[in-house]
Amino acid sequence: MEYRILGNTSLRVSALSFGASSLGGVFRDVNQADAIRAVHLSLDLGINFIDVSPFYGLTKAETVLGKALAGVRRDRYILATKVGRYGDQIGDFDFSANRVTVSVDESLARLGVDYVDIIQAHDIEFGDLRQVIDQTVPALRRLQQAGKVRFVGITGLPLSVLQYVAERVPIDTILSYCHYELNDTSLESLTPYLKDKGIGVISASPLGMGLLSTRGTPPWHPAPSNMKEICARAAAHCRDRGADLEKLAIQFAVANPDIATTLVGSANPANMERNIRWIGEPIDRALLAEVLQILRPIHNVTWPSGRPENNLHPA
């Protein structure tokens, strides 16, 4: 396993990391014993960074992860969770100073730890960005001073929103999803800025939340239909070549040294073992070129997320 330094945090994180949304049954029903084994196997095979949120499974993911981490030495893992998002509706977002402060204590209790390494404001494009800047981040900094969190970050889909906030209040990390994968490399446009600011880069969803998979997208996936069709074509091409689109996608995502870590998640231990094994194998350059050509018509195509006014913010 390769390890990289996460911005100016000094945290040395595995290039591939564990996205614990899977523990909350976000993609399918999960067997708790299997989920716990998936976490333990990942740690044993070199993954040291785990990301979760109270939103995933409506606290189920944090609860299951807490059971998995019970008895595991605290220095074996770097742990991140989130605040601000507690459901799917606009009314389920609360970035107020009081709520995020209470939220951290709730997460610590579910996770069974005294502190988290990174606390992140979750999907900030659904909130009032002025509140995130003036209330949320300062409240999280106070928790940092109290020793409950070590570093403070933000997450979201629109890259312009992440930069907008990062330009107005100091942050330590950003978590971007669906913006560094075979069909979308737009995160590259922001990495020089983040590197210059010393902000650590975490990328999630290298499979595009199912776009780049043989199984295809779940019913709730927000991508336009033509994106789904073209990605399905890429999956079929790999299958015809006796290859896995998932393997190619994960290898491609992890290869960028400017991205400290890439989150993948599965509550299936065999899947996590396979993902970790894949990144140690050489990428098929010919197949990569063929797949990128298939995906070219939808390169950097995305979808709106959050409040309409937040999708219009210039950096």
What are the tens digits of pLDDT across the range 32-84? Answer: 999 999 999 999 999 999 999 999 999 999 999 999 999 999 999 999 999 99
Structural class in CATH, domain 3-209+246-283:
alpha beta
* pLDDT for res 25: 78
For the chain, give me the number of helices (H) and strands (E)? 11, 10
Find all residues with CB under 8 Å of 146, minimum gap 6, and list them. Answer: none
Task: Please report which confidence band the pLDDT of residue 154 belongs to, taking 50, 70 and 90 as the band edges.
Answer: very high
If we measure between CA atoms, which residue out of 104, 98, 166, 174 comes closest to residue 136? 98
In the chain, the percentage of residues whose pLDDT exceeds 90 is 92
Strand 116-121 and strand 3-5: pairing? unpaired
| Crossing angle for the helix pair 97-111 and 137-145, to the nearest 10 degrees | 50
* pLDDT at 6 exceeding the cut of 90: yes
User: Is the per-residue pLDDT at 122 higher than 70?
Assistant: yes
Residue in 2, 10, 3, 1 with CA at minimum distance from that of residue 173: 10
Task: Return the pLDDT at 215.
Answer: 87
Query: What is d(CA 151, CA 215) in angstroms, rounded to the nearest whole number?
Result: 36
Is 70 exceeded by the pLDDT of residue 238? yes
Summary mean pLDDT of the chain: 96
Distance CA 295, CA 297 (A): 6
Per the structure block, which two tokens stand in for 276? 């970790």
Average pLDDT on 245-259 reads 97
Could you tell me the sign of the dihedral formed by the alpha carbons of 299, 300, 302, 308, in that order? negative
Mean pLDDT of 271-288: 97
Active site residue 86: no
CB–CB of 166/127 below 8 Å?
no
Lowest mean pLDDT among 25-34, 78-87, 151-160: 25-34
In the set 3, 56, 77, 193, the catalytic residue is: 56
Q: State the pLDDT at residue 312.
A: 66
Residue 191 has pLDDT above 70, yes or no: yes
